């Protein structure tokens, strides 16, 4: 294996979508967005075949360009995904890499006055754009969404909100059980705010002026800021923290706005959508630093409770933490590719 140069068996198109929905977004982020569309081997040969589509989204602080990052002794997902199809492990799919980055590091794939209409951008602009340009099977039973961490969150909620578009999903260490994955960051964030007059926007100003993630609490504060902007922004876009920035005491009504976005808690409200899913891949590492393995079990238990048949669910807890789990992605991709309608 050469580490620095690999030929794909399929083909990767790199394009830009000019979004109407993201124009005038509150953070002033670009509305021209990159999108990468992968066509599997054979796509250009047999021009009659149409393919299921798997949408792939990034985790927090991730943007599209990072899919091309290279690591020691490992291939990036673009190549391991290509190998899934090139090796014949699964029938070909179109794979669409979507960008939903914001200046705060992410959008959580929701529509929010704090960040922009990223959920709608994905569903109402990217999906039609892809279907108009590529030989996809334009049907929810042939369309899946997949991601890790915040991307796993996005993969869980998007089909709940839009079962007309997505009929399958894969979540790797997806954010859920917020009392463990999010709440544990709040005291660290509150502590770190002592150096910033208990004002997260002062911290943000400081953060942007220096080497990022070089001070204790940076990670916790970034999570608090971006999620407040996504889950609990005021109508004018101001992010509202779910805790008192001095004492850390929870603000119940704001915290509830976050909890309303907790996938484990959403299943019940979106039970019909959830029951319509034909394939759900759930995995997480048993040493996940945000306890998303427990989140995975809790999410899976809720699926069962509302009546999703066992055979449509794959739950797997593997030996690992939250980072360095890219090797899981092609496993889920192959599993989805075998289950999407053709």
Report CA torsion sign: 303, 309, 312, 315. Answer: positive
Phi-psi map region of 324: left, alpha, beta (phi>0 left; psi -120 to 50 alpha):
left
- Residue 27 touching a copy of itself (CB under 8 A): no
Instruction: Name 279's bridge partners.
Output: 168
d(CA 226, CA 103): 9
Residue 252 binds a copy of itself, judged by CB under 8 A: no
In the range 214-243, which residues lie near a copy of itself by CB under 8 A? 214
Contact segment (CB under 8 A) with a copy of itself among 39-47, 109-117, 126-134, 293-301 equals 293-301
Q: How far is the CB of 138 from a copy of itself (least distance, A)?
A: 27
The strand pair at 279-285 and 32-39 is best described as unpaired
Nearer to a copy of itself, 222 or 340 (CB): 222
Q: Please identify which residue in 231, 291, 329, 335 interacts with a copy of itself, judged by CB under 8 A.
A: 291
Distance between CA atoms of residues 175 and 214, nearest Å: 24
Does position 209 interact with a copy of itself (CB under 8 A)? The reply is: no
Residue with tokens 């299943």: 267
Q: How far apart are CA 79 and CA 68, in angstroms?
A: 9
8 A C-beta contact, residue 34 and residue 126: no
For residue 256, state whether it binds a copy of itself (rule: CB under 8 A): no
What distance, in Å, lies between the first and last C-alpha atoms of the chain?
33
Q: Using CB under 8 A, which of 61, 108, 120, 158 touches a copy of itself?
A: 61
Stretch of 63-71, 114-122, 164-172, 224-232 contacting a copy of itself, by CB under 8 A? 63-71
Among 253, 309, 327, 341, binds a copy of itself (CB under 8 A): 327
Place of tokens 């999620």: 227
Site residues (vs a copy of itself, CB under 8 A): 2-5, 30, 34, 61-66, 68-74, 99, 101, 105, 177, 179-180, 183-184, 186-187, 190-191, 207-208, 211-214, 244, 246-250, 264, 286, 291, 293-294, 297-298, 301, 319-320, 324, 327
């Amino acid at each position: 294996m050469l580490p620095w140069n690999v030929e794909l068996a399929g083909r990767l198109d790199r394009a830009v979508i000019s979004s109407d929905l993201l124009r005038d977004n509150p953070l002033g982020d670009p509305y021209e967005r990159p999108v990468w569309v992968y066509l599997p081997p054979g796509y250009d040969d047999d021009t009659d075949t149409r393919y299921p589509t798997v949408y792939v989204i990034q985790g927090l602080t991730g943007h599209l360009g990072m899919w091309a990052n290279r690591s020691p002794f490992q291939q990036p997902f673009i190549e391991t995904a290509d190998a899934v199809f090139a090796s014949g492990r699964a029938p070909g799919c179109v794979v669409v890499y979507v960008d939903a980055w914001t200046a705060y590091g992410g959008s959580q794939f929701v529509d929010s006055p704090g960040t922009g209409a990223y959920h709608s951008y994905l569903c109402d602009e990217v999906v039609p754009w892809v279907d108009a340009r590529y030989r996809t099977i334009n049907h929810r039973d042939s369309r899946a969404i997949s991601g890790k961490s915040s991307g796993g969150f996005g993969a869980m909620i998007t089909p709940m909100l839009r079962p007309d578009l997505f009929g399958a999903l894969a979540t790797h260490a997806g954010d859920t059980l917020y009392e463990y994955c999010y709440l544990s960051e709040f005291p660290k964030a509150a502590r770190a705010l002592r150096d910033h007059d208990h004002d997260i926007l002062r911290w943000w100003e400081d953060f942007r002026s220096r080497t990022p993630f070089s001070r204790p609490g940076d990670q916790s504060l970034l999570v608090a800021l971006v999620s407040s902007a996504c889950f609990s922004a005021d109508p004018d876009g101001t992010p509202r923290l779910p805790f008192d920035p001095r004492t850390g005491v929870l603000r119940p009504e704001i915290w509830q706005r976050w909890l309303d976005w907790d996938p484990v808690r959403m299943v019940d409200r979106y039970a019909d959508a959830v029951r319509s899913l034909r394939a759900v891949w759930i995995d997480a590492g048993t040493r996940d630093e945000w306890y998303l393995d427990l989140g995975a079990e809790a999410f899976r238990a809720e699926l069962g409770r509302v009546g999703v048949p066992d055979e449509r669910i794959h739950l797997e807890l593997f030996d690992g933490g939250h980072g360095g789990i890219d090797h899981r992605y092609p496993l889920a991709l192959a599993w989805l590719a075998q289950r999407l309608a053709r």
